[in-house]
A and B are shown apart, each in its own frame.
Chain A
């Protein structure tokens, strides 16, 4: 989104309250969505639930192409479309809903830093495992990614995506990493998150913030998704406070609504 448009959106957003018919778009949940997209989508849903903003989840096969930034998920609120967690957090703040107002400057700096840690290591590791591990790419990612399309198009799009991700991995220096090193990075990232969380209920004490939503989205998705190898989930399971953190958020924000 351009800056001028962004400034305009935040002005517009301040004027209008949150509508009842807000929608969140993501790819088809059963046959199409991949681990990394699912994690990002769950993070946004958790964030909106923490804010107490109702949103209806809609699955579309072409969600990736509908999104203004090409990334998943995006929300459609009133007459505005916003994609990805960062911009969505700014958007809701403009509407007067924020989770991080109670933090001081240093805490806010730390929160942003930890959010980038999750994006930089967990999300990249998910992408690596999805597309650069040959077994996972062949058995899960490629068939699922191309599933809504008929034969040649599905494979072409899947291969295109795979090459794009691999080029990105080479550009950021992950191209030469082995799968074992990537798991090691995931462990390191979880170790850092676990240390930061300690025995607190949320990362910044009693109140959840967008960091909690992001961490929950990624960890919960990794724990509940079946891949060719369960190594990734096993790495997270060795941190008991992160597991209880996921369970806590699931119970507080997801279970009471469905029951």
Chain B
């Protein structure tokens, strides 16, 4: 092994190791399987070798981006969390993962990206605050358009917009999916036996953001909290496999709330932003000066050593000609 595999993920928040569902799935699977990955948490998709997150750069310098591909790659490297599953349990995992992709994913897209209040107050704000300078202006909007496009294609409706009816329909499907998962989990600690498998990683990745985020429209969260075994399952995995992030959250929880009003004072990369804005202002002033006849002064300065008035006059005439 030349260099260890590197995993690029979105930064964590809300007491989660990462805010993105796909990243959480991969992180959880890697933890379950004990894969030694060099974790790079970033808040800029441009830092990742594939331009999107999550991304795994393997020992052979290949780049994988889909969670399913990453899990297959880890499995080939003998980091297999599904080793103990019987063939039927493997089939069940595949079926429940499909169930989540069909029923839960559209509702998650809606809750985090399409629902206007959630998007403006939480999702866009989070990404805009965490991304570095030029990206934070256009990336959140671009990500939202991609998600909207995805939801439209999934639903087969070209003109789909946020609305009560769509929300009810999506959340009803999602609630049903959570109920089915809860029934399947029963009173067990994990879905199959005593150790977590890839299905546990998928369920955790999809439900933990719902449970931990603080969205203004939190219908999904309210429903999830009524399913004790499922919300307990997520907290349990957080405690067992991501103890550090859980502790970070509790220490952070006390920090941001008192200075909630002074949020505007806290700007990441403050120095760089100040420097850049000064640079932009200077550039604007200079170009304005160059465009509005200040060029002539340079000519004057060239000839200034010889005879100033003699040179100024023809220049003045020149300007008159230009005006006329």
Contacts and interface: CB of A to CB of B under 8 A. Distances in A.
Interface stretch (A9-17, A45-53, A116-124, A246-254): A116-124
Main secondary structure of the interface of B (DSSP, over half): helix
Given A106-B186, A117-B98, A117-B99, A168 B91 contact: no
Contact of A110 (B153, B176, B184): B184
Contacts of A171: 149-150, 153-154
Contacts of B181: 109
Interface stretch (A31-39, A146-154, A188-196, A225-233): A188-196
Interface centre among B88, B95, B102 (most CB of A within 10 A): B95
A12 to B, nearest CB: 19
A164 B167 CA distance: 24
B40 interface: no
Interface string B237-281: 000000000000000000000000000000000000000000000
A116 B103 CA distance: 8
Contacts of B176: 112
A189 B97 CA distance: 12
Interface string A164-204: 10011001110000000000000011011101101000000
Nearest to B88: A195
B169 interface: yes
A164 B152 CA distance: 11
A168 B106 CA distance: 13
Interface of A: 2-3, 69-71, 105-106, 108-110, 112-114, 116-117, 119-121, 164, 167-168, 171-173, 188-189, 191-193, 195-196, 198
Interface string B176-195: 10011101101000000000
Contacts of B99: 112-113, 116-117
B47 interface: no
B168 interface: yes
Contacts of A108: 180, 183
A114 B94 CA distance: 8
Contact of B92 (A3, A70, A110, A172): A110
B102 A119 contact: yes
Nearest to A69: B156
A109 B172 CA distance: 15
Given A105-B183, A106-B183, A117-B99, A192 B91 contact: yes
A121 B98 CA distance: 8
Interface string B266-301: 000000000000000000000000000000000000
Contacts of A172: 150, 153-154
B91 A71 contact: no
Given A109-B181, A196-B91, 15 more contacts: A3-B172, A70-B156, A106-B183, A106-B184, A106-B186, A109-B183, A116-B103, A120-B98, A164-B153, A191-B87, A191-B91, A192-B95, A195-B87, A195-B88, A195-B90
A3 B101 contact: no
**Residue of A71, A108, A164, A192 contacting most chain B CB atoms (<10 Å):** A192
A173 B91 CA distance: 21
A173 B102 CA distance: 14
B154 A168 contact: yes
A165 to B, nearest CB: 9
A241 to B, nearest CB: 13
A161 B156 CA distance: 11
A198 B168 CA distance: 38
A192 B154 contact: no
8 contacts: A3-B168, A105-B183, A106-B183, A116-B95, A116-B99, A120-B98, A164-B153, A195-B91
A113 B92 contact: yes
A115 to B, nearest CB: 8
B106 to A, nearest CB: 11
B320 interface: no
B306 interface: no
A70 B155 CA distance: 11
Contacts of A195: 87-88, 90-91
Interface in B134-183: 149-150, 153-154, 156, 165, 168-169, 172, 176, 179-181, 183
A188 B94 CA distance: 9
Interface in B58-102: 66, 87-88, 90-92, 94-96, 98-99, 101-102
A7 to B, nearest CB: 11
